[in-house]
Structure formats: C-alpha cells, structure tokens
Structure 1
C-alpha cells in the first residue's frame, strides 16, 4: 500500500465523518427549529386563549356591574314603594282617636242619623269658648231670577252684613223658580264694614265666622222657609 492511498482513505474518512457530523448538526438544528416553531405556535395559542378568557371575564364583569346597578335601582324603587304604601296606610287607616271617632260616626250613621246632620254637628264642634248667643235672622237667597228685597241681614250694629246666592229651584217640568234650591250648593258672603269678606260655600247647613272689633262673630246657617236661609249668630271672646 502506498502512502498516497493511505492519505486518500484518511481524507475520505475525515470528510465522511464531517458530513455525518454536519448532517447530525443539521438534523438537530431542524428538530430544534421545528420544536421552537411548534412551541411558539402553542404559546401564541395559549396567549390567544388567555386573551379570550380575559375578554370574557371583562364582559362578565361588566354584566355583573350592570346587574348590580339594576338591583340597586330596583331596591330603591321597592323602598320608595314601601314608604308610599306606609304613608297611605297611615293616612287612610285611622288609629287611636281617629279610629274611635270613625267608629262613633259609623255607629251614628247606622243608628239613622243623616250624613248632613252628622257633618253639621262635626263642623260645629269646637273646644268650649266664651260665647253668647246674639240673635237669629233670615234672608232671601239671590238666584238668577231674584235679586230684590230682604237678601241682606246685618249684625253687630250693622258692622257685619250677610248675604248669599244659589241656584234656582225647578218644577217637575224643569221650569226655574225665583227661590233657591236648598239641595244644591250655595255661597254665603260675610262682609265687614271695612270691606273684608269671608265666603262660605257648600250645601246647607254651613258655618262661618269673622272677627270684628276684637270679637269673633260666628254664624250657623241652615235652610229655612222657602227661599230663605235661617242664620243664628253668637258672639265669642277673641282670641
């Protein structure tokens, strides 16, 4: 064997080894690159998954905040509704003295006392005062068909005058009359000599008062003879 053949075999083995080494290194490099690429894609997939979870959680958080706000509004409305019903209950359902008065009024109505009479007595009720009766007078009520004599009466030495107006009574045929209909509302005017006026309106009987010269003059008015209002006056210490 010549020296040239030995050298050629050596070089062949050397380059063969280098080629295998290069192939091995290339294989490892390719494997690493592929693994890296798969790792990157997996990581990106996980990141996208986490981002989607974060997005879903943020949406859910927003929904929960909205639901919480809606519940607060509903609770506040419910509270206001309860307060309103409590206020209505306190106003509409009598208790204590109010309940006792209602029971007495109901008892009197059931006993046959007319509602108008009961209302008149209730309006007339007051704490005891230093009063004395003065006199009783009557006057004709002005109507659309009558505005003549005897439509005014005076009290307290003519310092107070009282008059009134109402609707005409009608016949069965619907024809209006000169006198007033006591079943309909009337307006009574109580006027002082200095011009101050108090008006009392409604269905008879009615109560009214006015202060003149340090004295309260009180009047009780009811339907009298046809066309008349009967008025009873009393004088009370004031205040």
Structure 2
C-alpha cells in the first residue's frame, strides 16, 4: 500500500455513517506523516547527487593530470620561466671556460676556489649567452663546476648587478662563497647584512673589462647568508 492509498484509507475509515463529514484530526496526522516521508526522500536524493558530483570531479582530475617533467638535460641550460641556479652533475661534461679562470685565493686542501664564465643556452632569451661558475681547480689543473648562475631574461651585458649565487653546496662539497657579477665601471662593491657593511673582492673578466666578477670572503660573510643590500661604486665613489 503506497502513501496515497494510506491517506485514502484514513479518509474512508473516519467517514460517519451518513457520509457527510470526515475525521479531520486523523486525516491531518496522516497527511503530515506523508509530507515528512517525502522530505526525507528528497534530502536523500540531494545527498546522492552531491556524492556523484564529487566522484566525477576526482576522476576528471586523475585523467587530466600533467605528466611528470623530464629531469634530464644539460647542466648549462636554464629554463626561462623562473630564476634558478644550476649545479652541474659530476656525470655531465664540465663546461669549458670562456676567458681566464679567476683564482679567489680560497683553498680547500690542494683545491682552489675559482670563478669563470661559461656559455649558456637559455630558451627565449637569445641575449643571455654567458653564466658565471663557482668551481674548483685541482693541483693538476682539472676544473670542477660546483655552482652556475645566469640571467633568465634580458641581456647578460645590461648595466648593473645580475643574478647572485648563494651557497647550496650541501655537505658533499666545500661551501660556496656568495658571488656574482656586475656590468659597469665598478671599482668597489659593498654588501650589507644585519647592518654590517662587507666589501667584496673583485676581478675583471678578460673577455670584457666591463664585466666585474665579485665574491665575499667566507670568513666575513658566511656562505648562504642572504645580503640585505648591495651597491657598486665607481672610482670617484659614486653609486652606479
């Protein structure tokens, strides 16, 4: 017996013998019971539709998930989407220096900490052709590239500071001092950290004297500590 038949049955059961009136109390009680039952049924249907919607979204995400990026590629090629630094892998060929190798005066046993520029290939940035390497030179002259930093847009010869390298060597390699290069007639480069002024050591690139390589003595600025600011000054002390 369905709900409508139950209501009709209640109406028939409460008719008077002269069939001129109905028991309204019984009929209203049955009517309320019928309405509650329908509300519960409606709520259950809504809950089911939401559950189906959630499952549908989850399946859609799984189908459209992007494949994992290919991690292979030359160490001296940098993506053009965001600033990065590259640590060449020992398994990859070491990039050949362009111009002279600069000896920093820092030693790790028989190894020298050196800096040199190498050719780089940056997608969609054809005017970026060089990057600066913090490397090591063994007693026999062999070079090991520890840390490469380069621009990802614009020009590698625009005036001013370019990307600055901070230590990311980890325990497997000697720490890398904070380093970078400046394009222009800089005679002095000064960084600040925690209110202290720290003067960098300088060397000019043999292929372009406007490119000034700089680094900070790790005994004065601990490798990995970020600078609060940095300025370059010319021979007259004017800020560039």
Query: What TM-score results when the alignment is normalised by the length of structure 1?
Result: 0.30
Structure with greater proportional helix content = 1
Structure ID, larger Rg: 1
